[in-house]
Structure 1
Amino acid sequence: MKGRFMKKIVTGLLASSLLVGMAGCSGDPGGSSASGKVELKIGTWAGAQELKEFQGIVDQLNQQSKNYHLTIQSIPADYYKKIQTMAAAKQAPDLFWLSQEYIPMYAELGVIAPLDEYIKGNSKLNLDDYFEGPLQVGKVNGKLYGLPWINQPVMLYYNKTLFEKTGVELPKPDWTWEDFEKAAIALTKDVNQDGKTDQFGTVIDGWPPVALWVWTHGGEIIDKDGKVRMDEPQAIEGIKMFHKLINQDKVTPNKTQAQNTGGPEMFKTGKVAMFFGGAGDDFEKQVGNAFEVGMTKVPHATTEATFSWIAATVMSNTTKNKPVAAEALIDLTNAIRKWKILPPTKSGLGHVADIRPEKAYAVEIMTESSKVSRGFNNQSKQNELDTAIWQELYEPILLGKKSPEQAAKDAANALRKILGQ
């Protein structure tokens, strides 16, 4: 899973620089080689061992295809800044990876091409096989701009050994937030009797996103039509529970404690009983025999939902042979799904136990979570919106400086200002 979502650094150039560049220089992507195959570049943030594995996939596709030859363009550092610089000069790779929050901006600026006409009728692609949440993040104004290759729903990991030792009921897939709260309180203790809490029920330190609480209470931050709804009653109810766990129940270490040690590390060392992590996180391997790891769906109130980190492969608008580039995009996406977990397709989940045997115990529960996994209703200014949520809501609540109602109001006003509402 990526780092703390709400504290990620906003990277890349201003949208205006892309607009200026799009009218300027021209490149020569999508040319043909001496063999007659269309030469295509695939941009990726993969590096080191991941890059070697990805190269193996690309080599196999190149051997199989009569129409294209793929070359990897690895950009392991400053990925978005470099991609945007290349796009401004019309030198973007023919195909490249985008995390979900960047797709609307790139689509609206004309950097990437809609795929619909090029993938229609392709026998290698079944859009009905995709889970709804991952597929939706690739769509902008009704057109499909990216095929997702990974779906990382947030799951609830728990220290099964600690639960059993303490006599607390194990988490269940149908847990409500009240069930979670009750267990978290019971597992928050001063173990060594020195007057300081040293074992916590959970950790909330900038991760997971507040959307977990908002969505599962039936609310929205920004709806599908782009309307800000963060200060509506359902959303506020979710924020109240978020606030209560942190500031009233105190079942999580404070911000300084958590960020000094790191939430994942606190879970691995038994100092945190429940951790919100990505389905593909390798806690099972890292914990080893220290304790037994369990996994289940995140709690809910009125609605089952979970946030998912989703990435897609997109096609540059400047690639010359779009039909062949789309063919390569489909082949590449299908191949990656047998490499990375969790795949965004229903059929792809059948490969999870083969790819990561230690995850075999949780395939069923990950499948159920994938059905309700989703990304944000991303906007072209998504990074600005995320920053505003952090500054006006998440951090103030972490520090106990705002009530849920005030934080929701301030954040909603900030979002409306960014969106011009």
Structure 2
Amino acid sequence: MKGKWFSKLTAGLLMSSLLVAGCSNSEEGSTGEKGGPVELKVGTWAGATELKEFQEIVDQLNEETDEYNLTIQSIPADYYKKIQTMASAKQAPDLFWLSQEYIPMYAELGVISPLDEYVKDHKEVDLDDYFEGPLAIGQMKDKLYGLPWINQPIMLYYNKSLFEKEGVEVPQADWTWDEFSKAAKAITKDTDGDGKTDQYGTNIDGWPPISTWVWTYGGEIIDKDGNVKIDEPEAIEGIKKFDELINKDKVAPDKTQSQNTGGPEMFKTGKIGMFFGGAGDDFEKQIGDSFDVGMTEVPHATEQATFSWIADTVMSSNTKNKDVAAEALIDLTNAMHEWKILPPTKSDLENVADIRPEKEYALDVMKKASEYSRGYNNQSKQAEIDTAIWQYLYEPILLGDKSPEDAAKETAEALRKIIGQ
């Protein structure tokens, strides 16, 4: 949700000044006893239950090899601030996790090493098995800087029981935004007769990202060549639909109400009919028998598209034993494909029902979404870009303060300044 998203963005804004000192090519960090396994540290934001599960994976890998020994370095709070501080001191973990918005900056500053020579012809790495979107976020200037361990496309969850109660057709995989809007308006109503809407079709409060509309209308925010496109006709059409849902159709609670209660909580308590959530969200478990949950693909206009949260395992440029560290990175990443959903590889996607049985009902739609889900086109200043989009476009439209055209124009101007166009 937006609060967590912006805490990450704020941390990202601090990064440039702190990482420059960590770009030395000196090889420090990894240690190992001569003749014994190489000692490698793995940085993770995992905490509590997730950390325990990750530890089990690491323990199993350590048992299966005498080449390396992995030790987890858990950083459950202020992860990026602490990673950047360690990188500045050339003490970053040998391997660590990075979410997609940070990979370009770390690669550009030389904090992480390219993996191409290690994965080329490796028997345990098939780059063709990866879905295009997840693999692309680790690629910069024809070099591969990370292997993805999760692909979390945005899906459309819906309250099947509520749809049936209201006599509205449940969401379909081939729904257009107009069909979505029609259903959302039919769900939105004052159920207790007090003159105030208390049941909504959906929730839009900073989440989902604006790309949800821009991409499905054939537009781009910034294209693969680094050109700002958010003020072009296709993107503006998507922004118009975004504005229409909020300010004309009024199918979502206002910003204050939504953020006070929380979109996920409103969905779980039956206050909204449709919610844009990650494929791995555990709504099915949390809702239990309260109502029937459904999942399908995000609606579209001219193109099917959905944003995906993606994270990679990367290797510090300062790790001493790169050959062994790369081997550990490959083993660890492959093992995580059997832990987290959705895996970024086509072959491992078949295991989702074993990993999370409650998701089996939606396996087909998750497979389809995985084929076209993606992250943003790589930009080293993605944190600043995201902040500008919120400041000049997303929030003003949420508040009804700007037209889509004006918001797109001002956002484009801000983005061009950020990336130096």
Q: TM-score, normalised by structure 2?
A: 0.97
Listed as ranges, the matches of 1:369-384 within 5 Å are: 369-384=369-384
Distance of aligned partners of 1:373 and 1:50 in 2 relative to their CA distance in 1, 3 Å threshold: same
User: Which residue of structure 1 aligns with residue 23 of structure 2?
Assistant: 22
Q: Is the 8 A contact 2:15 2:81 kept in 1?
A: no
Listed as ranges, the matches of 1:58-97 within 5 Å are: 58-97=58-97
Q: Is the 8 A contact 2:21 2:89 kept in 1?
A: no
The separation in 2 between residues aligned to 1:4 and 1:73, in whole angstroms, is: 22
User: Which residue of structure 1 aligns with residue 210 of structure 2?
Assistant: 210
Listed as ranges, the matches of 1:256-271 within 5 Å are: 256-271=256-271
In structure 2, list runs of 5 or more residues that go unmatched.
Answer: none
The separation in 1 between residues aligned to 2:205 and 2:8, in whole angstroms, is: 13
How far is 1:210 from its partner? Answer: 0.6
Q: Is the 8 A contact 1:219 1:232 kept in 2?
A: yes
- For the pair 1:144 / 2:147, whether they are aligned, the reply is no
The separation in 2 between residues aligned to 1:14 and 1:354, in whole angstroms, is: 39
How far is 1:193 from its partner? Answer: 1.0
User: Which residue of structure 2 aligns with residue 156 of structure 1?
Assistant: 156
Distance of aligned partners of 1:14 and 1:290 in 2 relative to their CA distance in 1, 3 Å threshold: closer
Counterpart secondary structure, 1:10: helix
User: Which residue of structure 2 aligns with residue 191 of structure 1?
Assistant: 191
User: Which residue of structure 1 aligns with residue 168 of structure 2?
Assistant: 168
- For the pair 1:248 / 2:229, whether they are aligned, the reply is no
* Equivalent position amino acid for 1:22 in 2: C
Q: TM-score, normalised by structure 1?
A: 0.97
Counterpart secondary structure, 2:149: strand
Q: Is the 8 A contact 1:308 1:375 kept in 2?
A: yes
The separation in 1 between residues aligned to 2:166 and 2:374, in whole angstroms, is: 34
* Equivalent position amino acid for 2:17 in 1: S
The separation in 2 between residues aligned to 1:184 and 1:4, in whole angstroms, is: 26
- For the pair 1:273 / 2:273, whether they are aligned, the reply is yes
The separation in 2 between residues aligned to 1:224 and 1:251, in whole angstroms, is: 33
The separation in 1 between residues aligned to 2:295 and 2:47, in whole angstroms, is: 29
Counterpart secondary structure, 1:11: helix
In structure 1, list runs of 5 or more residues that go unmatched.
Answer: none
- For the pair 1:108 / 2:108, whether they are aligned, the reply is yes
- For the pair 1:326 / 2:334, whether they are aligned, the reply is no
How far is 1:237 from its partner? Answer: 0.1
The worse-fitting range, judged by mean Cα deviation, of 27-36 and 220-229 is 27-36
Counterpart secondary structure, 1:60: helix
User: Which residue of structure 2 aligns with residue 285 of structure 1?
Assistant: 285
The separation in 2 between residues aligned to 1:196 and 1:378, in whole angstroms, is: 43
The separation in 2 between residues aligned to 1:331 and 1:42, in whole angstroms, is: 13
The separation in 2 between residues aligned to 1:34 and 1:45, in whole angstroms, is: 31
Distance of aligned partners of 1:27 and 1:89 in 2 relative to their CA distance in 1, 3 Å threshold: farther
Q: Is the 8 A contact 1:4 1:207 kept in 2?
A: no
The worse-fitting range, judged by mean Cα deviation, of 321-330 and 95-104 is 321-330
How far is 1:378 from its partner? Answer: 2.5
The separation in 2 between residues aligned to 1:352 and 1:21, in whole angstroms, is: 38
The separation in 2 between residues aligned to 1:106 and 1:142, in whole angstroms, is: 15
The separation in 2 between residues aligned to 1:178 and 1:213, in whole angstroms, is: 12
Q: Is the 8 A contact 2:184 2:201 kept in 1?
A: yes
Q: Is the 8 A contact 2:15 2:84 kept in 1?
A: no
The separation in 1 between residues aligned to 2:254 and 2:274, in whole angstroms, is: 16
The separation in 1 between residues aligned to 2:84 and 2:8, in whole angstroms, is: 18
Q: Is the 8 A contact 1:27 1:89 kept in 2?
A: no
- Runs of 4+ residues deviating >4 angstroms: 1-4, 6-9
* Equivalent position amino acid for 2:99 in 1: S
Counterpart secondary structure, 1:384: helix
Please, what is the CA RMSD of the aligned residues?
A: 1.4
The separation in 1 between residues aligned to 2:23 and 2:376, in whole angstroms, is: 28
The separation in 1 between residues aligned to 2:31 and 2:339, in whole angstroms, is: 29
User: Which residue of structure 1 aligns with residue 409 of structure 2?
Assistant: 409
User: Which residue of structure 2 aligns with residue 364 of structure 1?
Assistant: 364
| Cα displacement string for residues 269-288 of structure 1 (whole angstroms, at most 9, x for unaligned residues) | 11100000000001111111
* Equivalent position amino acid for 2:347 in 1: S
The separation in 1 between residues aligned to 2:312 and 2:15, in whole angstroms, is: 22
The separation in 2 between residues aligned to 1:299 and 1:293, in whole angstroms, is: 17
| Cα displacement string for residues 369-414 of structure 1 (whole angstroms, at most 9, x for unaligned residues) | 1111000012111100000000000000000000000000011100
The separation in 2 between residues aligned to 1:74 and 1:3, in whole angstroms, is: 23
| Cα displacement string for residues 328-378 of structure 1 (whole angstroms, at most 9, x for unaligned residues) | 000000001111111001111111111111111011110001111000012
